[in-house]
Amino acid sequence: MKKLTLLRHAKSGWDDPVERDFDRPLNKKGKRAAAVMGSFIKRNRLTFDQILASPAVRVIETLENVEDASNLAMEPTWDRKIYLASSATLLDVLRGARPDAEHVLMVGHNPGLEDLIFDLVPDDGTSPARDEVETKYPTATLAEMTLAIDNWADITEKCATLDRFTRPRDLDPELGPNYD
């Protein structure tokens, strides 16, 4: 069994005058939400053997804020393929994860992350958390899954269970529902 945690980048600032979407930084609430999620990671003693992340500025800043709050050293493998990737591309990236990595954290963007959950977790009515994802996968939200595989190269659709879906507003009511 392998563990996969997905983290959608925190809320970015649309008011910043950047030329490319790739360069958009986090806004104030996004930084706060990322820190809240970092504290959650620390409280729940989550650790990751490998971190695969988009190199977009908002992902970099999300991980910096998570790292500060969790006291974990975040040493991601930056992969441009994750930036605005489809579920199929994200599956390919995961197939290339280190074979010895038992728990992988992937940090990226929607709609790819949301679609990846839909592809990995069967829609059989047994996962209330999956139903929450169908409603919305807000920024800075963690989705934790267990995969019925022994090797990342073997990842396929419908091989996962969604164990926990944690939104910033679940941890800090001031970050919801107008947050995202």
Q: CB of 160 within 8 A of CB of 127?
A: no
pLDDT tens for 138-169 read 999 999 999 999 999 999 999 999 999 999 99
Averaged pLDDT score across all residues of the chain: 94
**Residues in CB range of 139: below 8 A, 6 or more apart:** 8, 9, 10, 11, 12, 30, 33, 168, 179, 180
Report the share of the chain in percent with pLDDT over 90. 84
pLDDT tens for 162-171 read 999 999 999 9
Rounded to an integer, the average pLDDT of 104-120 is 97
- Residue 102, both tokens: 């038992």
From 2.60.120.590, 1.10.1240.10, 3.30.420.40, 3.40.50.1240, which CATH number describes the 2-10+23-159+166-174 domain?
Answer: 3.40.50.1240
pLDDT tier for residue 119 given thresholds of 50, 70 and 90? very high
User: What single DSSP character describes residue 55?
Assistant: -
pLDDT tens for 69-110 read 999 999 999 999 999 999 999 999 999 999 999 999 999 999
Give the domain ranges of the chain. Answer: 2-10+23-159+166-174
**pLDDT reported for residue 178:** 62
Q: CB of 176 within 8 A of CB of 11?
A: no
For the whole prediction, is pTM greater than 0.85? yes
